[in-house]
Amino acid sequence: MEILQIPMLRNPVMLIAFSGWNDGAEAASGAIEHLLSAWQESNDDVVPVLIAQVDSEDFYDYQVSRPQVRINESSQREITWPGTQIFGLSIPSMDRDLVIVTGVEPSMRWKSFSREILDIADDLEATLVITVGAMLSDSPHTRPIKIIATTASSSLGIKFDLQPSTYQGSTGIIGVLQDGCTKRGVDSLSLWASVPHYAPNAPSPKASLALIQAIEEYLEITIPLGDLPEQAEEWEVSVTQLASEDADVVEYVKSLEASKDAVELPEASGETIAKEFERYLRRHQED
């Protein structure tokens, strides 16, 4: 890893997402990309600072994650290599800063890769690691995107009423990083968006928005949303229009809606309403 600088950050939280297997409909990488630009047009005018970048030669199979050729502003051809970058965001209006890890899921040497990422988290004195992913599931696009949150940290489990993940099976680099956090005794959360499997076309701004709102809730911060809510609405309309062209898909969506409503409507409570109201108040006060 090439470390460019170690900035002074206040009580930083590291947020991690990768494109690839962990990133259904590019929802997770879309959420992280939004975080990198969210404050640039706000009163804070925060510009991400590149802290470090991973040498792609060490961790990527270029036949799996191929480099891209493009024409730059000087009309010259240049190659962009797959990799991982680590940014710092110092946000004056918040009492803690962010470390953003974004890139392509590595192809090999995951143990070494995870050690390097968590070593830089130690160097930056990150107090919490949040991994962000997205998966395809049986969920209707017309209902709120479900976010699954888990933690292996007993203190975070008590604070947020969360349980450790019970998933068993194949995993991605996100799962390896979570395991590394547990072994190091680092507090960590895992957030996953459930994206409708019949609407996998990327990007899915509605799922990205749901992940951003979950990050807001768990960190108790306000993130500028920009035009993400409008993009989410447009996405839902476009998926509805496409689905309406196939009668079987229409019936399938209706069955998913009925199943989801039957499960979730009885669970609607004052606590849910209170959380939405707290989010509204927090955003209103900071605006």
Exposure b/e, 86-118, CB count within 10 A at least 16 = b: bbbbbbeebebbbbbbbbbbbbeebeebbebbb
Please say whether the beta carbons of 142 and 254 come within 8 A: no
CA distance 256 to 204: 19
pLDDT band at 270; cut points 50, 70, 90: low
pLDDT at 228: 95
Residue 120: phi and psi, rounded to 5, are -70, -30
pLDDT band at 269; cut points 50, 70, 90: low
- 237 burial type by CB count under 10 A (0-12 exposed, 13-18 middle, 19+ buried): exposed
Question: pTM score > 0.85 for this model?
Answer: yes
Cis-peptide into 203, omega within 30 deg: yes
- Which overall architecture, per CATH, does domain 2-286 show? 3-Layer(aba) Sandwich (3.40)
pLDDT at 12: 96
Instruction: Give the pLDDT confidence of 144-172 residue by residue, as tens digits.
Output: 899 999 999 999 999 999 999 988 999 99
Is the pLDDT confidence value at 266 over 80? no
